[in-house]
Structure 1
């Protein structure tokens, strides 16, 4: 157990002041969040304080004395994370741990805390070409809307979940379900979601997505046009035409600039859809779970016509998806109709190479939150100085020791990959809000310059002697 907090006692109960709920806790019991308990009349943080050892990839310090060589934290150093540290609520007091340490001769300070975040959410990247639902469609968990589908990216579908409006702006159940969903995702557990007008999805950080009961294996090597560009030389001289079926950009080899560069004669096989540039076609079919993220199960359905002035009997045609999972080989008969045929080994080799170049399909969960007044007040009495120090790269922000990206613009808006954080880094309070670790690291000189709580600095050696400490290997 980490440090005890002060609490108000009343008839054997103690009142927890770690969040606005102000639970009244009996001896031997914990509060609503399961993070603080009444231990023999003392309010105590239940979860252990997590310390990273050999965290050479975790927290960079700013060079001030000329002694630091610009490397990340060297091997052999320890780093106190915010996991299990406790919060600064009710905001006016210093952070639970303000740790002084020396890194390669540089005096550093790391302000360690757990933030209570109502203004938070997750961005979920789902590696798949499969259609999950229309853009802006509502995403539901346990019957409650917890977010929406956002813009698709290259080979991935994206979800935006959480946010203050779902946590606090709707019904009590919506807030509770949203909080439960975010907590599970951030702690790397599986969550079942349903997209309005779309798919049922099981999402878990670092695991393949399960879409309508099917586990995805791989994400595409590129769009149909990119696939043509990559593999055109390997098809040249072995097949007369290649069509790469794709929900976004379907590629036609002999029309494509890659085929023209190789001086391949145009086959005369025309596909449906809207022609963008030579050999690149949009909207060849509807979205779906078929070939290349379309609703196509028979690839010949996208062929509009065959030009007899350019095509000839015996011409060979390969149709393949952007992952190589779907492929078919045809030969044009006397009426110029594609007839299924056995795929030659030299063609199958390239199809297999498409698959080889596809990365495993995974779900990525990025936690995003605004670090507001309560966190900053735990560092300094003048919070804007901390904000400026972060923007000037004098102060580095981490979450559970993992590097956090800071959005440009006002405030301290962090985004971090939960896979880089220790297990079970996140908690919650029933307001509802998530509790997440956060650390601000800087030189002692810069900490003093921003008006930091100098009287609250404790040596890292003192922290490492506390009961209930958990040490884990850093990345």
Structure 2
């Protein structure tokens, strides 16, 4: 446990402490932790069990040192201020509940000569969800199908995007609008994904998936390896010139848009001879076909395992014996080379090396299949009250771009429109940043960084501001110091 001064809570009889860090109001006996395991009773004092996390950024050679704090004889040197800049995250900071309290830490510092304030608090998010981006052309399930985990619905399938299947998980209706078990299962699943752990889900009418941020998705027990290079039409456009002279026709199988080379504008621009090979499906623009098969886990996200079944007809007025035909998926994982015999029947043949090279090139242009987990939440009025006495001023400051919002130092995308609705990649957020409370809701770090004079103008809790040097001296011994994630921009105050 972190040995720090009591943050809040009320002492009761027999050494019990009532925690008011969230609406559950746990009564914690000595030596025990609350339901969330984030607070504990240490001999009658309520303490945090997780340390405050400080992120440090090493100054590169030749880069001017940013004077975050002055030299002090009181500082023990655990974090060398002369060589590093330090950002106080909200991880381990505590919450503003019961909402009228100022944020746990309001840190004043100087960055590049600008007086800056960072308001640090952990938010209790009942209104939060996850967007799972799954890089695969496999059909995972019908749009709007229920996503199930441990027998409970935790989300649904949403619109597919280019090369990725998308799931929407969590949200206030699954957390609070169903049964108690549904809410608890949903919260536990979201927490595991936010902590970069793996969970298994089943999509009704579709596939069984293993999801983990930063890892390849596992579909029906088989790990995915590639994200498609593009739809069938795009693949035709990319590789048409490389196929010219080596094959007479190419069919790129895709659940969305299947491409046929000699009909496609790319083939026409290369003066390729029409092959007379016609595929099934609904013809769109020349060389582009929709609905060639049902969605599935076969070739190109269809239910096809034998691509020759896609051929509807071969026109004898256009086709010829010896016609060289390549069929491939959008990832190059599946491919077949055939030649037409004297009866214009496609016969599998050995794929010539130049043709095999183009199939390999398709695979080379496919990015690795990954699962991305994006945390999305709305910062409500109570959380904002911990930043300023008039929350609408903070909201407008964020919307204007005057206030930088981060989660554990990680950048957030701010949704347009009203409120403070943010989304962040959990891989960019430091480990162990997320927690939960059994209301149920997720707990996540949130930091607001802005110029000091603006914070005062917004009606911020200026009297509660603590200089970075004083904060480190008071809480530095119990804090955890971690290296700044290399891919994250430094959250300086907006100009």
Fold-level similarity (TM above 0.5): yes
Match of 2:11 among 3, 9, 16: 9
The 2-side partners of 1:112 and 1:4 are apart by 18
Structure with larger RCO (C-alpha < 8 A, sep 6+):
1
SS in 1 for 2:478: coil
Match of 2:481 among 447, 471, 474: 471
1:6, distance to aligned residue in structure 2 (A): 2.3
The 1-side partners of 2:118 and 2:83 are apart by 17
- Equivalent positions of 1:405-444 (< 5 A) are 405-444=413-452
Question: Are positions 1:213 and 2:221 aligned together?
Answer: yes
Match of 2:311 among 296, 300, 303: 303
1:56, distance to aligned residue in structure 2 (A): 8.5
8 Å Cα contact 1:167/1:175 also seen in 2:
yes
Structure 1: any 5+ residue segments left out of the alignment?
Answer: 58-73
8 Å Cα contact 1:319/1:329 also seen in 2:
yes
Match for residue 360 of structure 2? 352
CA offsets 1:268-312 (integer angstroms, 9 cap, x no match): 000000001000000000011110000000000100000001000
The 2-side partners of 1:136 and 1:39 are apart by 48
Distance 1:455 1:15, change over 3 A: same
CA offsets 1:331-370 (integer angstroms, 9 cap, x no match): 0000101000000000001100100000000000000000
Distance 1:75 1:319, change over 3 A: farther
- Equivalent positions of 1:52-451 (< 5 A) are 52-54=55-57, 76-451=84-459
Distance 1:456 1:55, change over 3 A: farther
SS in 2 for 1:384: helix
Q: CA RMSD in A?
A: 1.3
The 2-side partners of 1:150 and 1:302 are apart by 28
Distance 1:346 1:3, change over 3 A: farther
The 2-side partners of 1:362 and 1:460 are apart by 39
The 2-side partners of 1:112 and 1:209 are apart by 34
SS in 2 for 1:21: coil
Q: Normalization by structure 2: what TM-score?
A: 0.91
8 Å Cα contact 1:121/1:162 also seen in 2:
yes
Aligned residues: 459
1:3, distance to aligned residue in structure 2 (A): 5.0
Match for residue 60 of structure 1? none
1:239, distance to aligned residue in structure 2 (A): 0.5
Question: Are positions 1:38 and 2:34 aligned together?
Answer: no
SS in 2 for 1:77: strand
1:471, distance to aligned residue in structure 2 (A): 1.0
The 2-side partners of 1:372 and 1:55 are apart by 34
Q: Normalization by structure 1: what TM-score?
A: 0.95
8 Å Cα contact 1:3/1:45 also seen in 2:
no
SS in 1 for 2:361: helix
The 1-side partners of 2:291 and 2:275 are apart by 21
SS in 2 for 1:428: strand
1:411, distance to aligned residue in structure 2 (A): 0.4
1:9, distance to aligned residue in structure 2 (A): 1.3
Match for residue 491 of structure 2? none
8 Å Cα contact 1:137/1:196 also seen in 2:
yes
1:8, distance to aligned residue in structure 2 (A): 1.4
The 1-side partners of 2:83 and 2:202 are apart by 44
1:40, distance to aligned residue in structure 2 (A): 1.5
The 2-side partners of 1:141 and 1:280 are apart by 38
CA offsets 1:188-244 (integer angstroms, 9 cap, x no match): 000110101111101000000001111000110000000000000100111100000
